[in-house]
Every structure is written in C-alpha cells, then in structure tokens.
A and B are shown apart, each in its own frame.
Chain A
Amino acid sequence: MKRSYLGEFEEIVLLTVAVMEGGAYGVAITHEISEQTGRAVRLNQVHAALERLEDKGMLKSEMGEPTAERGGRRKRLFTVTAYGRRTLQEIQEVRVSFWARLLNPFKPATSL
C-alpha cells in the first residue's frame, strides 16, 4: 500500500493533535510537545509541520473563536482526518510487530 511516510517530528505533531481532541492549535500544540517530550520546540516548526500534514491530507482545520490575548485574532483548530488516523495506526502496528520479533528484549539494566 502506498502512503505518505511521516517524519519523526510530523508523527509527534500528528499524535499530539490526536491527543488534544479538537483543542489543537499552534501554541497549544507547541506547549504540549515541549511539556511531554522536554525538547525545545519552535512555533514556526510546528506551523510548518501542521501545514505539511494538512497538505498530505492527514489533518484538516477550521478557524475557531477569537480570544483577547490573541489580539482578537482567530485560532486555526486542527483535527485528525480518517486517513491521518489510519496512518498513525499503521505506524503503530509496524512498530509493534518489530518489537514482538525482538528475541532479546532490552531489559532495564538491574545488574552490571
């Protein structure tokens, strides 16, 4: 089956959008990612990834309500499309099958 492959960062962004269930927009996603992964994420990187994902058809977006702290500007709210969801599942399945075939799973290093 042919499908677009996702970069590692794109995958994380897509997952985050899925997790946030309707409340996903630029700043919120950025904060969520940096909190969960602990890495310094830049706003423009997230925007770029969101745009790419939307182009690939894994996300869709609509304009939300304006808020005061945004200077009266609306936010763009993202949701994952069916195609996006399927892609995430496939990635997950591939990972799981590989983990299952690992003969000597990594154990926490209890003894040296």
Chain B
Amino acid sequence: MKPPQLADRLLKFCCAPHRLEEVQGDLHEEIQYQLRRVGKPRARRQYWWNVLGFILSFALKRKSIEYSTTHLTNPIMIQNYFKIAWRNLWRKKVFSAINIAGLAVGLATCLLIVLFVQDELSYDRYNTKADRLFRMTMHIRLGGKEMNMAYAPALAGAAMLRDYPGVEAFTRLESEGTFVIKSGNERFKEERVVFADSNFFAVFSIPLLKGNVKTALTEPNTVVLTESTARKYFGDQNPVGKSLTMGTKGLFRVTGVCRDVPSNSHFHYDFFGSYRSIRQGEKWLASGSHTYLLLREGYSVAQLAAQSPNIVRKYMGPEVPEFLGMTYDEYLRKGDRMGFRFQPVTDIHLGPNWENELEANSDPKYVYIFSAIAVFILLLACINFMNLSTAGSANRAKEVGIRKVLGSVQQQLIRQFLSESVLITFLALVVAGVLVAVALPTFNQLANKAFDLGTLLNVRLMGYTLMGSLLVGLLAGSYPAFFLSSFKPVSVLKGKLLSGVRSGWLRNTLVTVQFVVSIGMIIGTLVVYQQLRFIQNKKVGFDKEQVLILHDTYVLGDKLKTFRSELAKQSQIVSASLAGYLPAGRSNQGVDGFRDVNAPTETVPFRLKTYRIDEQYLPTLGIGVALGRNFSKAFSGDSAAVLVNEAAVRQFGWKNPVGQRITTVGDGSPGDRQTYTVVGVTKDFHFESMHQHIAPLIMFYGGDWYQMALRIRTDNVPALLKMLEQNWKAETDMPFSYSFLDERFNKMYQAEQRIGQLFGIFAGLAVFIACLGLFGLAAFTTLQRTKEIGVRKVLGASVASIVALLSKDFLRLVFVAILIATPMGWYAMKEWLADFAYRIDLEWWVFGLAGFLAVAVALLTVSFQSIKAALVNPVRSLRSE
C-alpha cells in the first residue's frame, strides 16, 4: 500500500532536507506496521497525524550552514550587500556623485511639488463637517449671457432651512469691503473684514478661544477677532468686552476671539462682524450673501439640487416682473433661466472662479501640471540612474562573473544590485532633504505658500517619503539589477563584454525620453514668458505709466475737492481725478441692467459693467475719446449723460451712438429707473484682465471718492510722494497709502508670472538632470572606446573627426527627441494659451530655439568628454593590453 501522496509531498516541502530520508523512511515503516495492526483507513489517518506532528515540531528547524543555500534574507548577506555597495560608490566617486546629485535634485523637486499639491488639495478639509457642507450659488442666463454668482440671495438660506428638512443649518458671509478700524488712537486699514451669521463658528470648524460660540455674533455691532488681530489691537489684554470703531458703521463690541483662519481655507478674514450689523436685503433678486448649507447626515445634495427649479419659481418668480418687466414664464420662454447649485466647500478652491468669489480660486490645471512635472523630473532622475548603471556594467561584469562562479545565483545578485540602488536613493534622499530646507523660502515666495520645515516633518509625509524613496530605489535599480545579474559567467570572464554594449537601444530610448521632457519644458517656459511679455506690452487702451493712485481718499470727506484742486496746482501733477473705478488693482465695481429706450419693451435688458468718473478721468488715464465728447463742467445736464465704450456701441447695435438714450433697470423701485443720454464714446480699453475680451462699459458722470488718480510728470518721485504725504497729513490722521498704476497692472498677472518662473526653474532642473546623465553616459562610452580612439589617431584621424564621431550618436538622440517633443509642446501650449482672450501666436522659432538649446547643451556636455578623449596621446591608450 502506498502512503497518502499529498501528506508525503507536504512533508517533503516542510522538512529540513538532511532529515527527510530517515523521517520518511520511519513514517513508511510505521504505516506498514499499522496497516497490519489496525487496517488501512486508520493507518492512513495516523500517517497524516504523524506528518502533521513532524511539520509542527522539529521539521521547521532547518539546519542552514551545512552548505550554501539560497537564503536571501540572511542579515549577514544583506549587510555584505551594503558593504560592497558602499565600496563601489566610494571607488567611483564621480559617477556616484552624478547619480546622487541627479536623484537628490529630482527627489527635492518632487518633495516640494508634493507639498504644494497636497496643500492645494487640502483646502477647507479642516472643517470637521466638510463632507456635508455646501455653498449655494446662483446661476442666471439673461439675454443669452451666462452669469455664475458665487453667492445666493440673502434670503435663500433661511428659506432652504424652512422648506427642506434635510438642511440642518445655514450660515452666511457678506463682505462690505475695506474698513478703517480705530482702537483708541490707533487706526489701521483692514481689508479682511466680513459679516457672518451667529452660527458661523458652529458650522465652520474655526474654534473660538474666548467668548461663547452660541451668542458671540447674535447682537448687532458685535465682532469676533482672530487671535493675531486681537494681539495687534489689544496686546496681551483680554479683548472681550472692549470696543472698536469700524469705519462708518460705528462702535463694535468685541465678543470673542477665534483661532486664525487656516491658510488652506477659501476665505481669510480677521474680523467677523455680526450679520445683523449690516443692511438686510429684502429682495431675492437684489441681494446676495455667500451662503453655506449644512446638510443632515445621509441627506444627499442631489436631492436638494433637484429642487432648484421649485425654489426659483416659489421665491424668485414673483419678483421677476418687477425687475425684468415680464413674467417668469415669459422669461423662461425666451430661453433664459435661473437656478441654484450646491457646491461642496472642499471643491471651491480648485473650482471655477465665479463672480464675487471671496478670494480668487486657484486653477486645478496647475495642480495637474505640477504633478506631471514632479513625475517627469523623478523619471529623469531614475533614467539617469538606470543609464549610468547599465553603462557601467562593463566594469561590474567581472565581479558578476566571479560571484556566479563562486556559487551566487541570480536572485542573490539581483538583491545585491537592488540594495545598492536603495542605498544610493537614501543617500540622495538625505541630500534632497538638505536641498529642500535650503530652497523652501524661495519656493514659498514663488508658490505663494507658507510652508515651514514643520510641514515637512510630519509623520505621514515622512512615511510617504520613505516609502516613495524605497520604491524609486527599487524601480530605478530593477533594470540594472536584472540586466547585470543575467550575465553568463563564461562569457564575461573570457572578456566578452558585448552584451553590455548591446543594450544600447534601451539606453538610447531612455536618453531620448529625457530630452523629450527637457525640450518640452523649455518650450513651455519660452511660451509662458512670451505671453507674459505680450500682456505687459500690449496696448491696453490707457497709459499706465506715470499714474499715481492715492488710496482711501474718501476719508477726507468734504475736504477732498479742495485737496484735489490744491494738488492740481502743483507743476509735477498734470491732472487729478476721483477714480474709485480703475482698470487695474483694487477698484469699485458696478453692474446694472440697461435697456435701449427705443427698443421694444419686451427686450431683455443688457447687464453691463458701470464706472463712475469725473471729467478729469479720461485725460488722467490717457483714454481716448472716439466719438462725441468727454464729460464737462460746462454742460449742466451731464448728470443725465453717459459715456460708453466701443464694445457697448456694438452690443446695442447703434449706428450713431451719440444722442442715444438708455434706461437703467435699477433695484426694482420706481425711483431707481433712470434715463441717460449718450454724449460720447471712448476707445476700448482693458478694464478687466487679458483673460477676458473687452466688455461693454457704461460710464456715469460723478467721480467716485474711494481713490484718486494723479497723472504726474516728474523725475523725482520720492520728493513728490513726500509732498503728497505732508498735504495728506495736514488734512487727516488716517494712514497715507498709494500705488502706481503700472505696478497694479503687473500684479494682475502675478499668478502667470509665478507659473512662468516656476516653469523656468523646473525646465532648468530637467535640463540639468538630463545633462548629468548625458555627461556620465558620454564618459562611459569614451572610456569603452579608448582603444578605438587610439587606433584611429594612429591611422591619422583628426581631433575634430573623433569629437564628431563621439558626439554623433548622442546628437542623433537629441534630434529624435526634438521631433517628438515639438508637436507635444505645441499642443500643450495651445491649450494653455486658449485661456487668454488676447494671446500670442505660437511661432516656429520658439520650437527652433528650444531644439537649438537642447542640442547646444547636449553638445557642450558630450564634447567635454569627447575632446578630452580625442586629445589623449594614442601611446597612452594603446600601451597596455
């Protein structure tokens, strides 16, 4: 009878090999004995029982040192791997340095970008209820024009809470612009002021350090300060119960102190006034607050979104005739619509920029672009590593041969090479850590973030970093490891190294990939810079040089007019205008509905941007008049006159714009509807950023006191500023502040400028890493061809021909890379430019230049090695065999 085979096999698998024979013999003898005694079934059962007993007891104790087995996790061997790796690194210092430097730069870049991306993705996640917190936004299509508002009617929140049981709470934020805040004798201009509902601190997870969460903002004229603002105004004193004067809103009592708003929030305010301190809107169509809804758990936002048409019909429908002169159904029939959407708070920061966002949102595109760059740069560094290791294989081939002859199996060699690459990666990681620490301040400036080393040293990020580095090490090491360990000992020891050279096609591919990435990034940088230059030099329709803006001139009150005429008398000041509305930087904004008086009554009014300017405005900003005339004091009827820009003329479709009459829609009350006569047409000027086409603009007469624009003509700006400040101080004790129009203009494109700079830096790094690799590779190939070069020289080859011979191979790769990178770069940059209404055309020379730069850099890198090799006296290279 045969013993159970499965049990036998199990035993064979588990038992130490040197004990197998006797154990199995005993077991077989036993089963024969038992077979005679107790019969087959019990004998078999006992056999199984015995085998299991063996497996559980001593069979596990394998004897290991008797002869070499493939014990791959033996600590002694691993220790040995690292020792050999270290010696190898030390022996080839230059290549180790190239390897480590490339990887370190790659890892450092990657780390910085990961920090950036992680921060971008973490916006508003500090809210413990973030998953059920939604922002209600309003979306209107009026006269074919889409309007997406980041806010909702002020009354909407309460209505939602009343009508839908799934809504647990709502809270609103409303900003009323800048305030001059007085505390005792100190006064500061504060921009980060907002008015919030009393439950704001219960809905958003911004903890209140002092004061009662429930009652802090229930009364009118109460305010909660952030920690650092409280310190700024009251030092170490307890601010609760103290009061502040907030602009024209009067005295506010401080009722609480909250923690500073986290940097990764879609709003950053220092003052939270109670919502009841401000005028409450009573119409759905003429009020707006940023409205946040907290849903009950398990209530899906889709249910709420489906209710949007009902909400609009119930609450806004009745108001439509008052504002638009037609019933809601007529309005719908025209193809227009209104609706609400509910946007998760965590989506706001990387979402679209709608009208009246609390802060400009960032663009998810840049998160993708930077993630891609991080991956690319890391890829470049890995490729370097692979290339240098396989190219250097000639030198390691003998070692592999000897190891194999002495009994190493491939598994062991793979492990050896992998531990080598992991060691290099971790050395690089240490260097990368230092690089990051050094580069962090610059990076913060560029990316407009505030990271410190603390952000880097958090446990989770460290864990990910270590895991990532291990992965990079294994990945980068895997190809060389498998390649090197597959050498046949017979051929490598005989001196045939051809296998090492033949793997050239893979190395070539990798080098090409490196240059595709580098060239792509050079193209990107060039295009971004070109577009920025284009924007900055484009004729914007106004003269932004030599215009000085004084801020907050409204504080002068009635004295402003005399202040202005005083200034206008100065020889350095050409003209002075009340300019609350400006085409760049902080400006008032106005929007109103307009209807052509002669148009039939059912036409939908146009919703157009408005300015309020005085007669000095156009000359001060250098805006040209195309038709008609500027406002003038000489005409008494100018308060009922308007100027329009050319875009507005096109919108209304006027043949003779001057003399046309338009009427405003206003906020619905009968007195708010007024008729104006067009007296002039200005040339189009960019009153918004270049991302948008120039929109129609209506300019009313009557300067806005918020700011004052001065056209100056002087070489001595500091003296002028000093004079202005003295004049200002003579009138008021409010802070004096100013800016220049061209600086404000440039600031509008800060995001693009930052992107341009970052792109430039990353492109530089990519090229640097690629060149490091190329340098190492060139060094290896020249080393391998030393004899060939010697022979060629003996036979009469010139230095130039040898340099050409050695560089040719690499240049061919770069040319292939240019061919691949050009269409890719062209497509990517076309997409990026599509975002600008005014943009450059992609010209061929950009691609030419990028290619030329790549070739030049590659040539420089390679020629250093090849010239060195070509100049060597052949006697030296041929002397020894």
Contact = CB atoms under 8 A, between A and B. Distances in A.
B28 A70 contact: yes
A45 B53 CA distance: 8
A74 B28 CA distance: 11
Contacts of A74: 21-22, 25
A25 B26 contact: yes
Interface in B3-37: 21-30, 32-33
A47 B29 contact: no
Nearest to A29: B26
Contacts, number: 63
A43 B21 contact: no
Contact of B58 (A25, A47, A71, A73): A47
B28 A69 contact: yes
Contact of A42 (B25, B29, B50, B58): B50
Contacts of B21: 63, 73-74
A31 B33 contact: yes
Nearest to B26: A26
B23 A75 contact: no
A30 B27 CA distance: 11
A89 interface: no
Contacts of A63: 21-22
Contacts of A42: 49-50, 53
Contacts of A71: 24-25, 28
Nearest to A26: B26
Contacts of B26: 25-27, 43, 47, 70, 75
A44 interface: yes
B875 to A, nearest CB: 67
B29 A67 contact: yes
A51 interface: yes
Contact of B57 (A25, A26, A45, A67): A45
A76 interface: yes
A42 to B, nearest CB: 5
A47 B32 CA distance: 19
A20 interface: no
Interface string A4-41: 00000000000000000000011100110000000000
B53 A44 contact: yes
Contacts of B58: 44, 47-48, 51
A70 B26 CA distance: 7
Nearest to A69: B32
A48 B61 CA distance: 10
Nearest to A73: B25
B25 A44 contact: no
B53 A26 contact: no
A69 B28 CA distance: 7
B54 interface: yes
A76 to B, nearest CB: 4
A25 B23 CA distance: 10
Given A42-B50, A43-B50, A44-B50, A73 B28 contact: yes
Given A73-B22, A75-B22, A44 B54 contact: yes
Contacts of B53: 42-45
Contacts of B28: 69-71, 73
Nearest to B31: A69
A67 B30 CA distance: 13
B33 A75 contact: no
Contacts of A66: 25
B31 to A, nearest CB: 9
Contacts of B22: 25-26, 63, 73-76
A75 B57 contact: no
Interface string A63-90: 1001101110111100000000000000
A63 B33 CA distance: 21
B56 to A, nearest CB: 8
Interface in B50-67: 50, 53-54, 56-58
A42 B537 CA distance: 95
A42 B50 CA distance: 7
B50 to A, nearest CB: 5
Contacts of B23: 26, 47
A24 to B, nearest CB: 12
A25 B22 CA distance: 9
Given A31-B33, A74-B21, A74-B22, A43 B57 contact: no
Contacts of B30: 27, 30, 43
A64 to B, nearest CB: 9
Contacts of B54: 43-44, 47
Nearest to B3: A71
Contacts of A30: 30
A42 B54 CA distance: 10
A7 to B, nearest CB: 14
A32 B49 CA distance: 20
Contacts of B50: 42-44
A42 B30 CA distance: 11
B32 A44 contact: no
Given A26-B22, A43-B50, A69 B29 contact: yes
B27 A43 contact: yes
A27 B57 contact: no
Nearest to B51: A44
A44 B57 contact: yes
Contacts of A76: 22
Contacts of B56: 44
Nearest to A44: B53
A76 B58 CA distance: 16
Contacts of A25: 22, 26
A48 B53 CA distance: 10
B355 to A, nearest CB: 82
A69 B32 CA distance: 7
Nearest to A77: B22
Most A C-beta atoms less than 10 A away, residue of B23, B26, B27: B26
Interface string B285-323: 000000000000000000000000000000000000000
A48 B57 contact: yes
Contacts of B24: 71, 73
Nearest to A42: B53
A45 B57 CA distance: 8
Residue from B25, B27, B30, B54 whose CB has the most chain A CB atoms within 10 Å: B25
B379 to A, nearest CB: 55
Contacts of A31: 33
A29 to B, nearest CB: 10
Contacts of B25: 66, 70-71, 73-75
A26 B33 CA distance: 13
B349 to A, nearest CB: 67
Nearest to A49: B58
A87 B371 CA distance: 74
A74 to B, nearest CB: 6
Q: Which of A44, A63, A75 has the most CB of B within 10 A?
A: A44
Contacts of B57: 44-45, 47-48
A30 B46 CA distance: 14
A70 B21 CA distance: 10
Contacts of A26: 22-23, 26
Given A25-B26, A43-B53, A71-B25, 17 more contacts: A26-B26, A27-B26, A27-B30, A42-B53, A43-B54, A44-B54, A45-B53, A47-B54, A48-B58, A67-B29, A70-B25, A73-B28, A74-B21, A74-B22, A74-B25, A75-B25, A76-B22
Interface of B: 21-30, 32-33, 49-50, 53-54, 56-58
28 contacts: A26-B22, A27-B33, A30-B30, A42-B49, A42-B53, A43-B26, A43-B27, A43-B50, A43-B53, A44-B57, A44-B58, A45-B57, A47-B26, A47-B58, A48-B57, A51-B58, A63-B22, A66-B25, A67-B29, A69-B28, A69-B29, A70-B29, A71-B28, A73-B22, A73-B24, A73-B25, A75-B25, A75-B26
- Interface pairs A-B: 10 shortest CB-CB: A73-B25, A44-B53, A26-B26, A70-B25, A76-B22, A44-B54, A48-B58, A69-B32, A27-B29, A71-B28
Interface of A: 25-27, 30-31, 42-45, 47-48, 51, 63, 66-67, 69-71, 73-76
